[in-house]
Amino acid sequence: MVAGFSHTSANGISDGTKYNRLTLAQTYSRSKRTTFYLLQGFQRASGQTLASGGAIINAVASVGDSQIGTPSSSSGQAVLMAGLRHKF
């Protein structure tokens, strides 16, 4: 098992954005050539940030953008990925 935690903060706005992210990864060997893997991630956002037009908006979590395509509509977001790898 592998775990990671990151904290990111930005300033320049009176209530600057803060992101806390926790990730976990597990790998289970089923045989010499087959492995099952499981990845989990969770992010919590707080504070405010700038929108693309420059307006100040509430920060939202975006940990799963590469998998689901859109950021969360709230301050928290979780992503879960599972897969099976077989070596030929």
The strand pair at 34-46 and 18-29 is best described as: antiparallel
Query: Alpha-carbon distance 84 to 21, whole Å?
Result: 25
Read off the pLDDT of residues 3-55 as tens digits, 9 standing for 90 and up.
999 998 876 777 888 889 999 999 999 999 999 999 998 989 888 888 778 88
Rama region for 12: left / alpha / beta (φ>0; ψ in -120 to 50; rest): left
pLDDT-based confidence at residue 2 (cuts at 50, 70, 90) = very high
Angle at 10 between CA 39 and CA 58, to 5 degrees: 80
- Confirm if 20 and 41 have CB atoms less than 8 A apart: no
pLDDT of residue 70 exceeding 80: no
pLDDT over threshold 80, residue 66: no
Does residue 68 surpass a pLDDT of 70?
no
